[in-house]
Structure 1
């Protein structure tokens, strides 16, 4: 375990002069990187870091190039953080960089409870600014995305994870059949969504988390923030949970963005939902391999069910009308009440209650976040033990991937609807799209 406070103090003295370290605290969340807030003298900063170079090994570029990109965006007038220093190997803190801290809200629930009136237009304008960053200003290490190759890589990952999720297979096949022609490449942020933007009373204050940036199709960025999962419960507001598509597109185009192609936008909405489904599965693999032993990884691994639900909602329009009107099979019956010695379910419940009553109240900061994640993990196990629902079907997935089975097959859509409703009810029962789909499908 490194002495982060001492090492960070040495680093800040070198880049900013004497100041004195205060308020060092890890920020909650962060699916991939650590973020640490701290004060140095009278100024507020954030350290963004990975614990080691090995943690960055599978990424197309490292933190030095990421920092250079953020600096280029900031210089181009984008509301990107101001980078003040980049870690080197000799600093002993892994890889990363330090930014001036933006004082604004990042929590989606708080932002969406009362979004400033300009926010939707701000989001469209800022994305147009990102896409307008001159190619010459973009670091050479930032890769160009080839959609054909990227889709093939997703397919290979799916097969390496077992190839047994029918809705993932259905989405891969649909994307293969609906690939758009290449677009003029722009800088794509790659993670432009609620949760990665900061907002204050005046509107959009900062765009964070540039680690997935690449050169590619502008529509990928346009679609990503419109995924159901990034609306954080406000599913009736398709853009970031804030507003409607036409207003978003109009603001983007008015600020100089490319003319929005609705079919291309829909392709990227399906593709990025598929991408995140596989990203969730990958989180589970990271835990299994020991690359990241945190409980958060296994919990995110079970969020695949959310994306499978969303994929079916995006793709079911391709089924014949008669299949879309077909009633669903009955839901799985509940388990019998336990008797005798404590069951597995009761043991799990006891551990969950102990965390809630004894561990969570005594925890602070990231430790409290981890306690909540552990409670969520045990909640999934409790519901799974009751329901006994599984989502895997290798034979059906292979047939959908090959195109020998489609949504035109009698009864298949109804079965997939039932399966995804039951699985999502176990893994993510509070997911807003679940209740909407259940009502729409009469499930």
Structure 2
């Protein structure tokens, strides 16, 4: 699961290390540790596991350490563990669950241990057209999963009062957008949702010299897996693409999703509701979202640039162009 850049100095805390050890095979031990950078809510480490015969395998350890994340870890890690279990054998490339300690009963902090997936997240503008088509097909496959046990219903936290209007945004447009989410959520046909499907959580095998030959190797970070409208996942990825690559790519993703066989709300007003809701949600966390992008090499994506793109994207959605 090479979602992040990595650093060498990354000790695992003693209780957590002992917990990991109890879930290894006979004769296996932690032979190497790397900190993976790029996430917002968790400390993530790649563990090289060595066996007596000299062979190695790789696991990923995620621990929630901030007060905000610890408070929600029982829910998030429960969702992630449940999703990974449900996805086994479905054809959707996701990590395999090894162990989970959602309440820190054994570890210093709530933690989850899973298998490692090859590949890396790709945030560069080069080759984005190819990746958008691949992302759309992958999301259609996720929404086609029919879990034995449904995950919990989706939750959206943004309200009309919590929206942060970007500097320089058209006040009338944003007031109208805020009015959209004052309405009750539209009815929908439920689907298995990733909950945070966006380029940072999708791994690619891609050579910089041949971006058109990219392929997806896996999807990670299932902590907000839920049951809800396909439009919600599509809206979230659309917003992220608009902020990463420009507002037009938000529009393009919804088109690519339908071209790949995905089904969105028939009513234009219902589509508008979900697209606007996710765009406005992004207004509350522009700085948090853009920081890992800059750490991953997109130094051009300053909070101001991302704010401006968000303002333009929401305007395009409200104008019927999104």
Q: Can you give the 5+ residue segments of structure 2 that lack an aligned partner in the other structure?
A: 1-9, 51-55, 165-169, 207-213, 290-301
SS of the residue corresponding to residue 37 of structure 2 reads coil
String of CA shifts for 1:64-85, please: whole Å, max 9, x gaps: 3321222212343222111211
Tell me the TM-score normalised to structure 1 length.
0.54
- Counterpart among 73, 84, 91 of residue 106 in structure 2: 91
Structure 2 equivalent of residue 113 of structure 1: 126
Tell me the TM-score normalised to structure 2 length.
0.72
1:198 & 1:123 partners in 2: Cα distance?
10
- Counterpart among 9, 34, 49 of residue 63 in structure 2: 49
2:222 & 2:278 partners in 1: Cα distance?
16
String of CA shifts for 1:291-316, please: whole Å, max 9, x gaps: xxxxxxxx869955543343234335
Alpha-carbon shift at residue 186 of structure 1 (Å) = 1.5
Alpha-carbon shift at residue 199 of structure 1 (Å) = 0.8
Q: Is the contact made by 1:5 and 1:21 (CA closer than 8 Å) also made in structure 2?
A: no
- What's the Cα RMSD here? 3.6
- Counterpart among 179, 186, 208 of residue 220 in structure 2: 208
Structure 2 equivalent of residue 14 of structure 1: 22
**Structure with higher RCO (Cα < 8 A, 6+ apart):** 2
1:53 & 1:138 partners in 2: Cα distance?
28
Q: Is the contact made by 1:188 and 1:218 (CA closer than 8 Å) also made in structure 2?
A: yes
Q: Is the contact made by 2:134 and 2:215 (CA closer than 8 Å) also made in structure 1?
A: yes
1:216 & 1:245 partners in 2: Cα distance?
17
Q: Can you give the 5+ residue segments of structure 1 that lack an aligned partner in the other structure?
A: 160-164, 285-298, 319-443
Q: Is the contact made by 2:247 and 2:313 (CA closer than 8 Å) also made in structure 1?
A: no
Matched, 1:70 2:78: no
Q: Is the contact made by 1:280 and 1:300 (CA closer than 8 Å) also made in structure 2?
A: yes
Task: Describe the shift of the 1:105–1:230 C-alpha distance in structure 2 as closer, same or farther (beyond 3 A).
Answer: farther
SS of the residue corresponding to residue 190 of structure 1 reads coil
Q: Is the contact made by 1:191 and 1:224 (CA closer than 8 Å) also made in structure 2?
A: yes
Matched, 1:143 2:175: no
Aligned positions, number: 280
Structure 1 equivalent of residue 211 of structure 2: none
Matched, 1:155 2:160: yes
Task: Describe the shift of the 1:262–1:48 C-alpha distance in structure 2 as closer, same or farther (beyond 3 A).
Answer: farther
Task: Describe the shift of the 1:11–1:182 C-alpha distance in structure 2 as closer, same or farther (beyond 3 A).
Answer: same
Structure 2 equivalent of residue 415 of structure 1: none
SS of the residue corresponding to residue 38 of structure 1 reads strand
State how 1:283-322 maps to structure 2 within 5 Å.
Answer: 304=307, 306-315=309-318
